[in-house]
């Protein structure tokens, strides 16, 4: 029986005559899916369509109710949402538009507006029918690719003036099967050409591509009901916001293990990204973070254990299975083949070997250093405190250990040590800090202010809770600079926003991530639902959601803000604001900020490190803007030569700055990077020039207004709108 026939049988008996329009919907689907999914292919295998279970239907109904009645966003399940779910589901199943044709889409569009009403009542078959059709198309494409490779990659023509679109997420669907064939010939040519230019011989290329596509084909044949359900529910839940998602029972298990921090692995947060597994962020102090090569937005292609000769291709694998491969015992090594976030196309990969270990709390702990600056006859001593994450040892806390570790406790000790050293100011480094314990962000603000609110939390009923620092003591009353970047998120944004709102210090760096929502994990009869229930707001009333924190002094970043950040995510909750809550204003920087920015700009114009950073940013931008890549051998060689030359030039410019010998070739650079990755403790310890710039800004502040030496003197604290600086004109 075909998918369409099974659907009509089921729906004509359960829906006929009960609700208006349901028979019409079923008949429309009959026309849409008159394709026998179990048709025999060139292989002796037959794809077995997956079907929903009673437990999944019940979970679907619970999810729909929770989304409608408890999510922060008020969103109805209607025809408009139905169309959006349909589009999101197809994006998940075929995000690069390389499996389905326009003819398939035209047929499927008959059910576009019917998904919403079906999802309300746990009728999952339409979503499963779409999934089964896509799986069949995937199998057909992979069979085509393998046949093409078996026919001989030496027969491919690289002399024609052809090119291929790198990102097809917004491209038109291929018109028909013939157009899709042409596209896949180009995809294979692109993969072969990239590996040939990487000095691989044809036999190795053939073996690698066969292993890749055979692995994907095996996964397609092994599709499970849970795969379809999780994909469908995540497309549905993602309509409310990108942090609301469904966890299958197996994914729930992995999520709970990660939350307990008992997982032995590489210390990376992963998520599904179409057919790839993508790195979301690295756990501070974890093996991957310490190793230094893996980056957020890298996509994993294959995984190899240290006792295996060949890697396992994981394209198309389920997230939980990729996690299982990467997880392993301490001191064992796992090798990942990844597509780097800045790769010009998906054929460019990098191999990264990481030794597994537990993420130790002490390696996430705050740390300090002292740097000095000469300004004329004056020497300024600046303390730098690095906070990788907002942590707390909850178990030790619950056990009553008076010496339990936490961010606030550790920073208080470091501040006491820096004060004993006689520092003139403190720089708090929150770059790459993805957040953590909310109460720690609240308590940390309290080290720098007297009593007052630190953050507001609004729920879906518009009830607002205000977290306060109720301790009038102040650990540090001197001038303060907070460093942030695009990877500073959540609790980091709460701290930086509060410091900015209180006029307690300057925020320096790049716009933060913009993750200003709170999620709760709720059990279902089958799996769990992670749902957004609240939103963070600063004491000044503005949300940290979507916008993040805008620095007072901007420093450009290599991170592509169009790909990483809350505002780069589909259906992200918008920025808004509520009423401010009364809070002190310790200093008004308006009288000095223009001069501080002017000095900063002048310093950076003369700084070779900053000049190099700008070149790197421009280089990465140009690569990201490359929409097409040539399939002509000579043109591709020229393009690759330009990229390699630029990489080598930038690397040698940095070597020159540090007085080191230049690399003679790109191979020498790659070998050196491999050596550094193998021995991360021996990496270049040259002081981060952005940290130094934070110290320079601090020295500028002290020069411009000596009263900043103690901007928290009790006599200076006034009402919210008052100012301390006579230079501000207020």
DSSP β-ladder status, 553-554 and 506-509: parallel
- Residue 278, helix vs strand vs coil: strand
238, 571 in Cβ contact below 8 A? yes
Angle between helices 666-678 and 633-657 (to 10 degrees): 60
Burial of 720 (0-12, 13-18, 19+ CB in 10 A): middle
Q: What is the DSSP string of 639-699?
A: HHHHHHHHHHHHHHHHHHHTT-PPPSSHHHHHHHHHHHHH-GGGS--PPPHHHHHHHHHHH
CA-wise closest residue to 440 among 390, 396, 515, 475 = 390
- Catalytic residue from among 189, 206, 515, 547: 515
Check if 601 is active-site.
Answer: no
Q: Which one from 272, 289, 302, 490 is the annotated catalytic residue? A: 490
- Look at residue 279 and give its three-state secondary structure: strand
3-state secondary structure 29-67: HHHHCCCCCCCCCCCCCCCCCCCCCHHHHHHHHHHHHHH
Euclidean distance between the first and the last CA atom of the chain, given in angstroms as a whole number: 80
Pairwise CA distance, residues 345 & 339, whole Å = 8
Whether residue 501 lies in the annotated active site:
yes
CA distance 164 to 579: 51
Tallying the residues shown for the chain, one arrives at: 730
With tokens 């040590």, the residue in question is 417
Catalytic entry in 501, 552, 560, 705: 501
Is 109 among the catalytic positions?
A: no
What are the beta bridge partners of residue 536? 457
Contact residues for 178 (Cβ-Cβ < 8 A; gap 6+): none
What is the C-alpha separation between 476 and 480, in angstroms, rounded? 9
C-alpha distances out from residue 294 to 64, 297, 319, 353, 563, Å: 37, 9, 18, 10, 17
Question: What number of other Cβ atoms are within 10 A of residue 602's Cβ?
Answer: 10
Catalytic residue numbers?
A: 490, 501, 515
């Amino acid at each position: 029986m075909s998918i369409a026939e099974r659907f009509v049988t089921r729906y004509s008996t359960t829906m006929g005559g009960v609700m208006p329009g349901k028979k019409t919907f079923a008949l429309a689907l009959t026309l849409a899916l008159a394709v026998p999914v179990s048709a025999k292919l060139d292989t002796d295998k037959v794809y077995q369509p997956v079907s929903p279970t009673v437990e999944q239907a019940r979970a679907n109904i619970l999810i729909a109710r929770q989304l409608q009645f408890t999510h922060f966003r008020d969103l109805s399940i209607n025809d408009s949402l139905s169309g959006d779910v349909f589009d999101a589901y197809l994006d998940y199943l075929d995000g690069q538009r390389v499996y389905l044709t326009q003819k398939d889409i035209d047929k499927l569009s008959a059910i576009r507006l019917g998904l919403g009403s079906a999802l309300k009542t746990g009728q999952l078959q339409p979503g499963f029918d779409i999934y089964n059709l896509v799986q069949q198309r995937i199998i057909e494409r992979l069979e085509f690719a393998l046949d093409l490779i078996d026919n001989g990659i030496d027969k491919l023509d690289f002399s024609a003036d052809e090119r291929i679109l790198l990102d097809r997420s917004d491209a038109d669907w291929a018109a028909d099967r013939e157009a899709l064939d042409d596209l896949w010939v180009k995809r294979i040519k692109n993969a072969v050409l990239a590996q040939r230019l990487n000095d691989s011989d044809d036999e190795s290329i053939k073996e690698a591509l066969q292993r890749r596509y055979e692995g994907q084909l095996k996964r397609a044949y092994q599709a499970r009901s849970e795969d379809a359900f999780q994909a469908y529910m995540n497309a549905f839940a993602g309509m409310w916001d990108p942090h609301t998602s469904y966890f299958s029972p197996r994914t729930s298990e992995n999520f709970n293990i990660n939350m307990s921090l008992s997982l032995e692995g590489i210390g990376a947060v992963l998520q599904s990204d179409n057919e790839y597994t993508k790195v979301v962020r690295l756990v501070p102090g974890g093996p991957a973070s310490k190793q230094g090569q893996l980056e957020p937005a890298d996509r994993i292609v294959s995984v190899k254990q240290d006792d295996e000769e060949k890697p396992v291709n994981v394209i198309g694998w389920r997230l939980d299975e990729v996690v299982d491969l990467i997880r392993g015992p301490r001191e064992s090594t796992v090798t990942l083949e990844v597509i780097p976030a800045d790769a010009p196309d998906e054929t460019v990969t990098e191999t990264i070997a990481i030794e597994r270990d537990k993420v130790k709390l002490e390696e996430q702990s705050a740390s300090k250093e002292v740097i000095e600056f000469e300004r004329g006859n004056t020497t300024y001593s600046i303390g730098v405190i690095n906070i990788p994450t907002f942590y707390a040892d909850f178990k030790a806390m619950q056990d009553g250990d008076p010496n339990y570790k936490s961010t606030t406790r550790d920073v208080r000790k470091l501040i006491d040590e820096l004060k004993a050293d006689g520092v003139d100011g403190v720089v708090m480094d929150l770059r790459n800090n993805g957040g953590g314990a909310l109460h720690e962000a609240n308590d940390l603000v309290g080290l720098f202010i007297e009593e007052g609110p630190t953050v507001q939390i609004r729920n879906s009923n518009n009830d607002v809770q205000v977290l306060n620092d109720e301790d009038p003591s102040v650990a540090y009353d001197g001038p303060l600079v907070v460093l942030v970047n695009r990877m500073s998120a959540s609790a980091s944004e709460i701290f930086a926003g509060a410091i900015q709102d209180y006029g307690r210090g300057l925020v320096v760096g790049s716009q933060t991530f913009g993750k200003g929502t709170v999620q709760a994990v709720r059990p279902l009869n089958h799996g769990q639902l992670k749902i957004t229930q609240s939103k963070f707001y600063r004491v000044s009333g503005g949300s940290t959601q979507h916008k993040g924190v805008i620095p007072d002094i901007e420093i450009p970043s290599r991170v592509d803000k169009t790909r990483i950040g809350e505002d780069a995510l589909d259906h992200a909750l918008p920025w808004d604001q509520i009423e401010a809550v009364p809070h002190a204003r310790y200093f008004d920087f308006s009288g000095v900020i223009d001069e501080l920015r002017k000095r900063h700009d002048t310093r950076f114009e003369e700084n070779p490190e900053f000049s190099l950073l700008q070149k790197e940013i421009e280089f990465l931008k140009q690569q990201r803007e490359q929409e097409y890549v040539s399939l002509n051998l000579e043109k591709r060689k020229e393009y690759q030569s330009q990229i390699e030359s630029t990489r080598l030039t930038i690397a040698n410019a940095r070597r020159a700055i540090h007085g080191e010998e230049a690399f003679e070739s790109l191979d020498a650079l790659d070998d050196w990077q491999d050596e550094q990755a193998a021995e991360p403790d021996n990496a270049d310890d040259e002081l981060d020039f952005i940290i130094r710039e934070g110290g320079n800004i601090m020295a500028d502040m002290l020069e411009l207004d000596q009263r900043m030496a103690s901007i928290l003197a009790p006599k200076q604290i006034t009402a919210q709108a008052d100012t301390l600086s006579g230079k501000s004109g207020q």
